[in-house]
Structure 1
Amino acid sequence: MGVHGMVIRLFPRSIRARLTAIATAIAALVLFATSAFMLATVPGNLRDVVLDRVEVSVRRIASEARAGELSTSIEAPARVHFLEVVTPDGDVLAATTGRHVHWRLKAFQPSELEKLYISETWAPQELNGDETHFLVMSMLVPTRDGPVAVYGASSLTDVDRAIRWFEIQTFVVTPLILASVAGITWLVVGFALRPVERIRAKLAEITGQDLSRRVPVPDTGDEITDLATTTNDTLDRLERSAETQRRFVADASHELRSPISALRVQLEVANAIPDETDWPATGAVALTAVDRLTGIIDELLMLARLDAGTVAPRRVVDMCRLCAEQVRRRADTRVVIVPDLCASAPVYGSPVQLDRLLTNLLDNATRHAETRIDLEVAVIEGRVVTTVTDDGEGIAPEDRERVFERFTRLDSAKAKDQSGSGLGLALSREVALSHGGTLTVADHSPGARFVLVLPCHEGV
């Protein structure tokens, strides 16, 4: 509990607040590290520049003093405020004209020959009396008349001004920059997350009763666009799944109501007059109704799985073998099945579903055929083509697509067989489509011809 509370305190729940805090923290780290580095190095570098300038001038005057070429008036270079040569007794031998500064020289008297002494001091200028910060350098130099002290001084006003500027930047400008970074980040992140909020609001309006609505997709082409697209794809799948469930419930209730009602009536009548009931015949009729119910339920369940995109276990299946097995099972039917099978026609698919497809096609052909069904399997241009042709009355061109709709039964089908469910051909087409193939009704006379086309297995 404590750790969780600490996480909440350290990291706000809002992504906008978190990103703003992170950006501000990174900016603060960079700015303070840069400022600290500059405060630690720039003043020293500036003092080194002043120091080098004064040292060059002091050593030049010291060289002139050793050689006895010293002039009483010393011309100071630019940015060197004051140069002076003094005896140990305090007598000034040479000095910069017009820029004298009141020095307390005893405080800077060098004691060792040829050694540079460096110090900083505040001293009044003679012209206006204002205290000025100076860097002072001195050196004791041997001459023919005895040792003399060479002094040089340069103002540190520019250095102090730069240091104050850096301090102001660190303690005044840096917080302002951080506040600007925080504000800009807050606004930018809020603008970037605005499409996310619209997506969230739209999702909150979508309910299970209405899955047709979609979230807005921004045209920015970024991750939020991908999120919105994926969300809509998910909603599409949910809508299809919900529609599949509703259709399954509607199909089941529609198709199961009639046989269940008929079975109930038969059993109620038999139970009402048990002495006059032919129980073996009633049982046979009940078993027939149960078989029909079982077949309908199996077809509905398979259609529901196909609608939901469920992929059944698949392997390489030889369509010729499946067809040959179908012919063997139907050897005693009233209609003769004439097979014309190639040597091998492998496809990659579900044996159960493909066998169900052939069963439905042959059952349909058997109901409508007069005397003969032609069953042909061939491999043509990388496709396995299976045709089922009967010699019945055929299917009108305007009905050739309608027969694949669920619970659609043409008048001729109802006249020949009242027990059909109208699901067989619909299921067969769904199986074909799920295997990457097609199932259509081709022109043929007399009778009807169903053409199943499936991709041939690549291993062939």
Structure 2
Amino acid sequence: MAAGHTPKHSLRARLTFVVTVVAMVGIAAASVGTVMLIERALVGSIDDAARSYAQDTAVLVESDRISNPLPGAGAAIAQVVDAEDRVLASTPGGDLLVPIVGGDDLAAVREGRAIDMSGSRLGQPDPYRVLGVPAELDGETHTVIVAVSLAEQRRAARLFRFVTFTLGAVVAIAVGALSWYVTGRTLRPVEELRRSAAEITGTGERRLLPVPAARDELHRLATTLNDMLRRLEDASARQRAFVADAAHELRSPIAALRTELEVAQAHPDAVDMAETTREALHEVERMGRLVDDLLVLARLEEGRFSSTWLVDMRDLAESIAGSLREPRVPVTVEPGPGASVHGSPEALSRLLHNLIANALRHAATKVTVAVSQAGHLVEVRVGNDGPAIPPRHRERIFERFTRLDDARSRDAGGTGLGLAIVRQIARSHGGDVSVADQDQGACFIVRLPSRGRAGTA
């Protein structure tokens, strides 16, 4: 049998088949049990009637009022047999020479047991039920034997079996039809979900699946799928915006580079080739920084780091501040104890570098970096004394390619991705970044779980 067997029939058909089969098995078992009980009850009623007649006849024997032939008992045949197996009396039509049963069967009857006997012994096609009752007369033990035909019992049992199994088949068919209807009604929302999902084309138009009104598993499934579709649509929208913004940001340096090269090609004697080369190199460097930042963001969104270590954020900040070559304003790392987090040294270094570089671009006279432990969090504050960030922009500045009105100049060296990278790194380490109020300038606060508490993607 193939391991990946695929059902050929629909779920509705399979459920209906299973329910119908289970119903048929249950009905058949119940019918067989009922028929057996009815047959046993019929045989028991025959035994009771035959024993009652035999006991009445035994009373006549014991009172020495026996007559031959014996009083009639309907379709029953009765004999009075002495201890020597001689027939003393019989019902009309009965044999006066030979007992109804002989040998072991006669011994069983004398012991009080009821037995089944073939009707051929009495010249009848149907079997008989035979039992006996003892009777005492003049100190001798006689036996009253009664044989009753099972023909009526057999006919009644056959009729009952026919009716029972016919009704069982009808009930099984009705259960199957009801199961088909109920599963169809139950699975109708699933089919609506399937059709709606098939109509979602991914062209940018937001489409959601219909949510059933009933608060059941299908309702929760549809809600979960709609949440997933919203997340996918949001991710797709961000991707489209990211591609559009990246294309827009790359267009400017490419256009400037192309213009400079075209002018140099068209008027080689009228341009300073050294200056043209420097400007072209500057544009290429801008594109290189932009591409590098795009690659960093792409890697961060995958949520995986090449390695994670215990990183002292104060030591890291001092190392970055000391590596700056001729910063525009002084960068000061405030003294204090170490504060460690568990994370990627490369990513955390990029986080601090971007924050310090951003502060340097906007600072008037200084940039300060403070690292402290606040409970189970490590706080890194990077502040400058330049223009403050209005509250309405404090979330938007962490979006990709966002520049505020007073910082739009691309010549300042920013790509518009630095703060987006900072937030992505912070969140990848289980923390976040925000802008805080201060008396003058802007202050960025990064909060990260202290050692051993950060989630590692």
TM-score by length of 2: 0.79
Instruction: Read off the aligned partner of 1:448 and give its amino acid letter.
Output: A
Q: Once the 2 structures are TM-superposed, how far is the Cα of residue 446 of structure 1 from its aligned partner?
A: 2.9
Determine if contact 2:79/2:100 at 8 Å carries over to the other structure.
no
Of 15, 21, 31 in structure 1, the residue corresponding to residue 17 of structure 2 is: 21
Residue of structure 2 in register with 1:344 after alignment: 338
Q: Report which stretch shifted further, 347-356 or 448-457.
A: 347-356
1:42-87 CA distance string (max 9 Å, x none): 535642563476458648866985xx544337999x9996755368
Of 280, 286, 292 in structure 2, the residue corresponding to residue 292 of structure 1 is: 286
**Gaps (5+ residues) in structure 2?**
110-114
Residue of structure 2 in register with 1:264 after alignment: 258
Residue of structure 2 in register with 1:35 after alignment: 31
Residue 442 (str. 1) matches residue 436 (str. 2): yes
| Identical columns (%) | 37
Q: Once the 2 structures are TM-superposed, how far is the Cα of residue 366 of structure 1 from its aligned partner?
A: 1.0
Residue of structure 2 in register with 1:389 after alignment: 383
For residue 388 of structure 1, give the secondary structure of its aligned residue in structure 2: strand
Instruction: Read off the aligned partner of 2:157 and give its amino acid letter.
Output: I
Determine if contact 1:137/1:152 at 8 Å carries over to the other structure.
yes
Measured in 2, the distance between the counterparts of 1:12 and 1:101 equals 70
CA 1:80–1:57 in 2, change beyond 3 Å: closer, same or farther? farther
1:134-182 CA distance string (max 9 Å, x none): 6344689896699966332446477346513431235411210111111
Residue of structure 2 in register with 1:115 after alignment: 107
Residue of structure 2 in register with 1:191 after alignment: 185
Residue of structure 2 in register with 1:85 after alignment: 80
Measured in 2, the distance between the counterparts of 1:321 and 1:159 equals 102
Residue of structure 1 in register with 2:173 after alignment: 179
CA 1:105–1:173 in 2, change beyond 3 Å: closer, same or farther? farther
Residue 427 (str. 1) matches residue 421 (str. 2): yes
Q: Once the 2 structures are TM-superposed, how far is the Cα of residue 353 of structure 1 from its aligned partner?
A: 3.1
CA-atom RMSD, angstroms? 4.2
Measured in 1, the distance between the counterparts of 2:249 and 2:157 equals 92
Determine if contact 2:81/2:99 at 8 Å carries over to the other structure.
no
Measured in 1, the distance between the counterparts of 2:142 and 2:36 equals 37
Q: Once the 2 structures are TM-superposed, how far is the Cα of residue 269 of structure 1 from its aligned partner?
A: 2.1
Measured in 1, the distance between the counterparts of 2:88 and 2:387 equals 141
Q: Report which stretch shifted further, 363-372 or 347-356.
A: 347-356
1:25-57 CA distance string (max 9 Å, x none): 222223334434555675356425634764586
Give the paired residue count.
438
CA 1:335–1:378 in 2, change beyond 3 Å: closer, same or farther? same
For residue 193 of structure 1, give the secondary structure of its aligned residue in structure 2: helix
Residue 451 (str. 1) matches residue 422 (str. 2): no
TM-score by length of 1: 0.79
Determine if contact 2:381/2:444 at 8 Å carries over to the other structure.
yes
Of 366, 373, 384 in structure 2, the residue corresponding to residue 372 of structure 1 is: 366
Determine if contact 2:242/2:400 at 8 Å carries over to the other structure.
no
Q: How does 1:6-405 map to 2 (within 5 A)?
A: 12-36=8-32, 38-39=34-35, 43=39, 46-47=42-43, 50-51=46-47, 54=50, 58=54, 65=61, 69-72=63-66, 84-85=79-80, 92=89, 102-103=93-94, 108-111=99-102, 115-116=107-108, 118=115, 119=117, 135-137=129-131, 150-154=144-148, 156=150, 159-160=153-154, 162-210=156-204, 212-274=206-268, 277-304=271-298, 310-313=303-306, 315=308, 316-405=310-399
Measured in 1, the distance between the counterparts of 2:172 and 2:74 equals 38
Instruction: Read off the aligned partner of 1:27 and give its amino acid letter.
Output: A
CA 1:105–1:274 in 2, change beyond 3 Å: closer, same or farther? farther
Measured in 2, the distance between the counterparts of 1:22 and 1:391 equals 76
Instruction: Read off the aligned partner of 2:259 and give its amino acid letter.
Output: V
Residue of structure 2 in register with 1:127 after alignment: none
Measured in 2, the distance between the counterparts of 1:440 and 1:198 equals 44
CA 1:182–1:146 in 2, change beyond 3 Å: closer, same or farther? same
Measured in 2, the distance between the counterparts of 1:60 and 1:111 equals 23
Instruction: Read off the aligned partner of 2:222 and give its amino acid letter.
Output: A
Q: Report which stretch shifted further, 39-48 or 78-87.
A: 78-87
Measured in 2, the distance between the counterparts of 1:110 and 1:415 equals 123
Q: Once the 2 structures are TM-superposed, how far is the Cα of residue 319 of structure 1 from its aligned partner?
A: 1.6
Instruction: Read off the aligned partner of 1:85 and give its amino acid letter.
Output: V
Measured in 2, the distance between the counterparts of 1:282 and 1:362 equals 31
Q: Report which stretch shifted further, 226-235 or 147-156.
A: 147-156
CA 1:154–1:211 in 2, change beyond 3 Å: closer, same or farther? farther
Residue of structure 1 in register with 2:112 after alignment: none
CA 1:365–1:58 in 2, change beyond 3 Å: closer, same or farther? same
Q: Report which stretch shifted further, 315-324 or 341-350.
A: 341-350
Measured in 1, the distance between the counterparts of 2:390 and 2:367 equals 19
Measured in 2, the distance between the counterparts of 1:237 and 1:399 equals 24
For residue 206 of structure 2, give the secondary structure of its aligned residue in structure 1: coil
Measured in 2, the distance between the counterparts of 1:208 and 1:140 equals 95
Instruction: Read off the aligned partner of 1:115 and give its amino acid letter.
Output: A
